[in-house]
Chain A
Amino acid sequence: MNLGSQPGEGSKKKSGSAFGRVARYTAVRIFTLFVTIIIGVYLTIMIANMGGYVDEIMRGEIRERITMQVVANPANKNLAPDARNKLVQEKVALEEERLGLNRPLAVRSLNYLSNALTLNLGRAINMTSDSGSKQVRLIILERLPSTLLLMGTANLFLFFVSIFLALGLSRRYGSFWDKLIITLSPTSAAPPWFYGIFLILIFAAIFKVLPFGGMVSAPPPENPLDYTLSVLEHLILPSSALIISAIFISIYNWRTFFLIYSSEDYVEMAKAKGLPARDIESRYILRPTLPTIITNFALLLIGLWTGAIITETIFQWPGLGRTMYRAIGLYDTPVIVGSTIIYAYLLALTVFLLDFVYALVDPRVKVGEGN
């Protein structure tokens, strides 16, 4: 805080030191964030391999698959058992080399890490994209639009509607609607998939007005307009599930947050001066709460990336969450790591930028000061 400092006096010297301070702060911040990412991603890599345990599973699978292949091949029928065994060994060794299983985990995991950090996502082990590619980048990119559509619709709606309603409620708290929201907010203890099941039950199973799941009806309509309408129809239930499960607690939290700010003395003062409610809201309540609103919005945006694993599974929505789930089921470390590293980078970037955004929107905050 520099509320008491004299303007003008020694301003040149101060700006120089301010620049140095910002530069030093930036460097330290980038360094710590980078170290955080490295550790986080390396931990994910180790967990995705279960400290080598997954290797055992994969080796076993390869051995079994190749033995079956060799035995089932009629060309090998007349081979002596020894020769057949040798053939199996050779093929297993080849396959293990293809997947990098012949190198120790320590080396392989460091390799994964450096590739991940340089966003060289590489090739998937077992998964393929719908277009048949094994590139992790393509597998992820192919699923990104559907996740963004679902999560974006639900979360943006949630964010703006709950802030808007919360402002209204904070103005007349204690009213019927306010009490209703307070009463309903414990319902948010249940996750979206839970409401999803009820929505499917009501609208798909009983009334048969909306589809059970999926993203577009089968076969997909040729006409782009019909296609869009079909996607929208499929979007209604999953996005409603996401919205219902969070809307009440979200309104409640924002409302409480705004209430705390609207009981500040300067707001009382503004009211006493007879300023219109709109002005009080925008200048005296929203302005000081802007950093928090921006933080939440930024976290919301990067949260879109992860998708909703279970909701997508329940609704058969072909998004990133389900891809992640499938990747885990197929022991596909590159896909798991790829998804994690992108999230980690987005998170770090957001955390980093937020410090500067705070300084922009709140004159009391200075980058690199305080904590």
Chain B
Amino acid sequence: MKTIQQFLRDLRQYPSALAGGLVILALFGVAAYAMVTIPYAEAIRLWRGGEDVWYQNPKYAPPLWLNWFTDKKQPESFIIRSEDNPQVKQVQDNGETSRITLTYQFDYNYDDFPQEMMLYFKSNYLEKQPFVTILWKTPDGREIRVANTGISREQTFRFSQDEKLVRRLGGMNPVQALFLPEKAETGAPIKGTYTLVVEGVTFEQGSNLDAEFVFHGLVAGWAGTDHQRRDLTVPLLWGVPIALAFGLVASLGTSILTMIIAAVGAWYGSWVDELIQRITEVNLVLPFLSILIMVGTFYSRSIWTILSVTILLSIFTGGIKGYRAIFLQVKESTYIEAARAYGASNARIIFQYLIPRMIPLLIPGLVSSVPAFVFLEASLAVLGLGDPVLPTWGKIINDAQVNAALYKGLYYWILEPAVLLMITGLAFAMLGFALDRIFNPRLRGM
């Protein structure tokens, strides 16, 4: 208890360690939050989902908080569903036929044009299709006929791809022309309240019509979207538990196994020790990253395979020599001699007497090696060898890299995962750094 208090007092002298520790705690909090709010199966479904899951999002859209820092406001994405909003839908039932009016009203106070607008119609009928007239009302009082069309059971109307509409608007892209003043070809969109009216007629008893208005702005969500319309909050959130798990398991596995092997070698000596030293030398010759890349390319890109290989290759490195030197010293201490005298078994001496002595030395190294493993996972993902199923930060950077995000100016796409990686890496590095100085009296005051 006293030593723990002493330790905490020591730790207080290093504000960077406290900051690092707090950030690590916060990361664990976020990891727990991510796993509770988006269960694993759901995260995978979202991450692997295609157009049917993400049709409501625009592509390559920066996060919406970007608007807070710029003068030129970019339109935000939104959706209005007639099923969920009773005020949108008005039904006038005339028996055989009925009139259904869907009115979508929205404020538009932005300085740029949307990416796309769409209406997803859903209707039910037996033989006779419902018929709709789509009207567009601008804030300056104009009324533009968008389309007249029959509606099948599921139908999508895309504004920018409707050729009749394009022709009627003089060959201009509808998502721009509909927001511009009359006869203007360029310029800023008119600000104010726009209304999209769908006037539908059904020709059967009980025939119904609903539509979802999807507005693809230029910004979307808190993290933005990627080339597959996916909301980046999912991989950013889920990247936390994966990065922590990979980093911690790898560094824990490596340090503990290294320590046990060093202890066994130092305790038994002779050929066991010799063998361990030779294996360490062989391991020095092996190209570490190349082997990981080979395993990823040829065999399996599963994060657990990569993790096991990483641990396996990291055991027999320089660290084993350092531990061995200390174990050789500890081996000669009197309490080990006493243990031997009362007949303790080899295993007992190694696990009960030798290894516990080393734990204070183990901790700083363990914490400091976490960032290297977190970045290793990201590095492999950047090379395109990330786990094919899991959403990770490295995968986001890889996607961004493949889609030339920096070249296209989509900085958010790379910066968000990079900043998270940096925060995680720095937190562990700062804590480990301070622990190293606390546990290694030789470094204290240096």
- Which of A44-52, A135-143, A216-224 forms part of the interface with chain B? A44-52
Q: Are B406 and A205 in contact (CB under 8 A)?
A: yes
A340 at the interface (CB under 8 A from B): yes
Contacts of A180 in B (CB 8 A): none
Q: Are B371 and A197 in contact (CB under 8 A)?
A: no
Contacts of A32 in B (CB 8 A): 278, 281
Question: Interface code A272-314, partner B: CB below 8 Å = 1, 0 otherwise?
Answer: 0000000000000000000000000000000000100110011
- Which of A6-14, A33-41, A74-82 forms part of the interface with chain B? A33-41
Question: Interface code B364-386, partner A: CB below 8 Å = 1, 0 otherwise?
Answer: 00001001100100110011000
Q: Are A328 and B278 in contact (CB under 8 A)?
A: no
B224 to chain A, nearest CB (A): 16
**Nearest A residue to B280, CB-CB:** A36
Bound: A41/B286 CA distance, A: 7
A193 at the interface (CB under 8 A from B): yes
Q: Are B285 and A40 in contact (CB under 8 A)?
A: yes
Contacts of B16 in A (CB 8 A): 183, 186
Q: Are A190 and B298 in contact (CB under 8 A)?
A: no
**Nearest B residue to A191, CB-CB:** B375
Q: Are B290 and A324 in contact (CB under 8 A)?
A: yes
Contacts of B421 in A (CB 8 A): 190, 194
A60 to chain B, nearest CB (A): 13
B34 to chain A, nearest CB (A): 23
Contacts of A50 in B (CB 8 A): 294-295, 298-299
- Which of B85-93, B209-217, B332-340, B407-415 forms part of the interface with chain A? B407-415
How many of chain B's residues touch chain A, expressed as a range?
35 or more
Bound: A336/B295 CA distance, A: 13
Q: Are A197 and B414 in contact (CB under 8 A)?
A: yes
Q: Are A309 and B281 in contact (CB under 8 A)?
A: no
**Nearest B residue to A256, CB-CB:** B446
Question: Interface code B419-436, partner A: CB below 8 Å = 1, 0 otherwise?
Answer: 001100110111011000
Q: Are B422 and A190 in contact (CB under 8 A)?
A: yes
Q: Are A331 and B379 in contact (CB under 8 A)?
A: no
User: If the complex has contacts A183-B16, A189-B428, A343-B285, are A328 and B375 also in contact, measured as CB distance less than 8 A?
Assistant: no
Contacts of B429 in A (CB 8 A): 186-189
**3 tightest Cβ-Cβ pairs between the two chains A and B:** A40-B285, A186-B429, A189-B371
List residues of B whose CB falls within 8 A of some A CB.
16, 278, 281-287, 289-291, 293-295, 297-299, 368, 371-372, 375, 378-379, 382-383, 397, 401, 406-407, 409, 411, 414-415, 418, 421-422, 425-426, 428-430, 432-433, 442-443, 446
| 22 sample A-B contacts, Cβ–Cβ < 8 Å, listed by A number | A32-B278, A36-B282, A37-B285, A43-B286, A186-B429, A186-B430, A189-B425, A189-B428, A190-B422, A193-B379, A193-B382, A201-B414, A205-B406, A205-B411, A256-B446, A309-B290, A313-B383, A328-B294, A336-B294, A339-B287, A340-B287, A347-B285
Other than the given A190-B425, A201-B415, A347-B284, 16 more pairs (CB < 8 A) read A32-B278, A35-B278, A37-B285, A40-B283, A185-B433, A189-B428, A191-B375, A193-B379, A194-B378, A197-B397, A197-B406, A256-B446, A259-B446, A328-B290, A328-B294, A343-B287
List residues of A whose CB falls within 8 A of some B CB.
32-33, 35-37, 39-41, 43-44, 47-48, 50, 53-54, 57, 173, 183, 185-191, 193-194, 197-198, 200-201, 204-205, 212, 256, 259-260, 306, 309-310, 313-314, 324-325, 328-329, 331, 336, 339-340, 343-344, 347-348
